[in-house]
């Protein structure tokens, strides 16, 4: 079968570091065209050399089947909606929208056009993430009591787009789609209550450290994201019979490296090992197969909406700097 033809909108760091190598290795899809304001940058990730400097011109290309969007956060949904209306399936970088209202609008367009819109939360396709869900669903941990997560790094250049509030900057938008929302998908999306937020503000007007604590279905969730704390990543799930945690410091960013899960149930400790894989490729291939009528799993838009609703509640608690 002919490969699924991708059109990239945006040719920045994530596109070049993650999706370009993932799709380049794929037997399912190929990068057919790249649309970017910067032609030279686009050329570095366009195997065919097909470049558009106007997004709508690429969206009008009938050979483009699916679009991957990796623009600054504030532009995700407007461009995604244009792509859907142009008849393209859309894989959009996280966060899908700046608020739940935007996500609901995009969901309606996806339904109206019959085209897929998927948030690129790539770690959800990682076999280790799926195994975590299996362990929790099995009931072997007993009644869940607490989930603790962290995703932090230290230091951003003053001109980094993550520090610009005008285009959706801030650490909750950047890393929250990994660690802050993890308790939701781990527990199967029950009701969120007792939300508390603590924020350290950057001088530029965005949050640089945000602790979001809440209860989800009665389970305590303690989460932290930061761009001014030394690198730390963890995910620890505790229950009345035991616990499961990701090994090492790669809970939400493991790509092309072996990984582990540390499991303790009724006092018995085991370690499960996972071979190196590229979850970006797993995500892109699942998307392409699903778009062509397959049964591959893709993250439902209903889950993206729940994430956005959690962020809305957190930002409301956070207030302004």
Average pLDDT of the residues of the chain: 96
Q: How confident is the model at residue 230 (pLDDT cuts 50, 70, 90)?
A: very high
Q: How confident is the model at residue 155 (pLDDT cuts 50, 70, 90)?
A: confident
Domain ranges across the chain: 4-122+283-296, 127-276
What distance in Å separates the CA atoms of residue 277 and residue 258, rounded to the nearest whole number? 8
In degrees and rounded to multiples of 5, residue 294 shows phi and psi of -80, 180
Fold held by 4-122+283-296:
Rossmann fold (3.40.50)
Here the tokens at position 21 are 């190598």
Residue ranges of alpha helices (H) inside 119-270 are 127-138, 171-175, 182-187
Average pLDDT over residues 223-242: 96
Identify the pLDDT of residue 321: 75
Q: How confident is the model at residue 319 (pLDDT cuts 50, 70, 90)?
A: confident
- Judge contact between 28 and 289, C-beta under 8 A: yes
Q: At what angle do helices 100-113 and 301-318 cross, to 10 degrees?
A: 160
- The per-residue pLDDT for range 261-270, each reduced to its tens digit, is 999 999 999 9
For the entire predicted model, the pTM comes to: 0.96
Residue 160's contacts (CB-CB under 8 Å, 6 or more residues apart) are none
Average pLDDT over residues 121-125: 98
Domain 127-276 in CATH 3.40.50.300? The answer is no
């Amino acid at each position: 079968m002919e490969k699924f033809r991708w059109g990239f909108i945006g040719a920045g760091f994530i596109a070049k570091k993650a999706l370009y190598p993932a799709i380049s290795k794929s037997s399912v899809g190929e990068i057919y065209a790249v649309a970017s304001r910067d032609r030279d940058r686009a050329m570095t990730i366009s195997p065919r050399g097909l470049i558009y400097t106007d997004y709508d011109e690429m969206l009008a290309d009938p050979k483009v089947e699916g679009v991957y969007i990796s623009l600054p956060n504030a532009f995700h949904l407007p461009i995604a909606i244009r792509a859907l209306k142009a008849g393209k399936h859309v894989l959009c970088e996280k966060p899908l929208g700046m608020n739940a209202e935007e996500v609901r609008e995009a969901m309606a367009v996806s339904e109206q056009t019959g085209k897929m819109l998927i948030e690129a939360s790539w770690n959800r396709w990682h076999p280790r993430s799926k195994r975590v869900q299996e362990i929790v669903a099995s009931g072997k941990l007993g009644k869940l009591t607490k989930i603790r997560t962290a995703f932090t790094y230290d230091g951003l250049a003053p001109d980094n787009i993550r520090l610009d509030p005008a285009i959706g900057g801030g650490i909750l938008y950047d890393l929250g789609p990994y660690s802050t929302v993890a308790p939701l998908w781990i527990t199967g999306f029950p009701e969120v209550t007792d939300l508390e937020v603590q924020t350290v503000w950057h001088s530029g007007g965005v949050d640089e450290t945000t602790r979001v604590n809440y209860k989800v279905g009665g389970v305590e969730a303690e989460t932290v994201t930061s761009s001014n704390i030394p690198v730390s990543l963890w995910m620890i799930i505790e229950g009345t019979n035991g616990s499961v945690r990701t090994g090492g410091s790669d809970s939400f960013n493991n790509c092309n490296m072996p990984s582990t899960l540390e499991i303790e149930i009724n006092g018995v400790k085991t370690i499960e090992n996972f071979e190196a894989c590229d979850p970006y490729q797993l995500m892109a291939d699942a998307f392409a197969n699903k778009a062509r009528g397959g049964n591959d799993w893709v993250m439902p838009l209903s889950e993206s909406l729940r994430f956005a609703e959690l962020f809305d509640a957190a930002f409301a608690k956070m207030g302004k700097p």
